[in-house]
Amino acid sequence: MTDPIKEVTPYNDEENKKGQVTKMFNKIAPYYDYLNRLLSLGIDVIWRKKAIKTLVPYQPQYILDIATGTADLAIEAYKSLKPKHVTGMDISSEMIRIGDNKLLKKKLQDVITLEIGDSENLKYEDGQFDAVTAAFGVRNFGNLEKGLIEMHRVLKQGGRIVILEFSKPKVFPLKQLFNLYFKNILPVIGKIKSKDPKAYQYLYESVQVFPDYENFIKILKKIGFHSTDFKPLSFGICTIYTASK
């Protein structure tokens, strides 16, 4: 049995979580990359590299990057793995617009395609991809299990998923420092730059209610994944989850 997941939303209005998350990312999209680098001190770049490195032994040729945002993980996947094609999908049209501009500048538009879509209702065929990835995205699903079931569905038999997600450090004093930074300092910096204080308050709250390592692995197994594993990074601030179909 896994504990029920408490739902937190960015704006506390009547719109459902999916709608609020879409609105939030459309709003902060112009500042997203800058704030990621600033607020993580650049470590998020290293986290993405390590996540994609787990796919090297599998040599996936067709990759789907869920909640691709501005395509950072999709770009890293292509650079490190040289697959035939990477598809990046996100519910935020503004994030996709910025990602498309990034691909044009890097001349990667022929090998990486970005599309607007819903992670919980994927438009792709069963077993279409060799690997499915997600960085800091599954935490924002309106229905976590539904999104993970869709990832499982579009994955080929023997394919791999790689999920990079924030987690809660458990050791003193990092746990206390993490909570202080994410709860009190990060929202202030986010408010100054993005003019949306709720977005970075939501970041802290959504991390707090996300399943811990063992419970998330239980959910993956329940859905049908096997060979599940997790690897905490930076003393547990972030975690790489991997599994096979």
User: Which pLDDT tens digit goes with each residue over 62-76?
Assistant: 999 999 999 999 999
Average pLDDT score over residue span 124-129: 99
Give domain 17-244's CATH superfamily: Vaccinia Virus protein VP39 (3.40.50.150)
How many angstroms separate the CA atoms of 215 and 3, rounded? 8
How many angstroms separate the CA atoms of 197 and 15, rounded? 18
Give pLDDT, residue 195: 73
Q: Which residue has the higher pLDDT, 203 or 107?
A: 107
CB proximity list for 152: less than 8 A, separation 6 or greater: 161, 223, 224, 225, 245
β-partners of residue 166 are: 238
Cβ–Cβ under 8 Å, residues 32 and 226:
no
Give pLDDT, residue 6: 67
How many angstroms separate the CA atoms of 228 and 211, rounded? 15
Average pLDDT score over residue span 124-149: 97
CB proximity list for 4: less than 8 A, separation 6 or greater: none
Cβ–Cβ under 8 Å, residues 54 and 230:
no
pTM as predicted: 0.93
Q: List, for residues 184-231, the tens digit of each pLDDT value.
A: 887 787 777 777 778 878 888 898 999 999 999 999 999 999 999 999
Q: Residue 105 is encoded by which pair of tokens?
A: 């500048």
Q: Which residue has the higher pLDDT, 203 or 115?
A: 115
Average pLDDT score over residue span 149-157: 99
How many angstroms separate the CA atoms of 93 and 139, rounded? 19
- Per-domain residue ranges of the chain: 17-244
CA 95-110-148 angle, 5° bins? 50
Query: Within 13 Å and on the Cβ side, how many CA atoms surround 96?
Result: 18
Q: What percent of the chain has pLDDT over 70?
A: 97
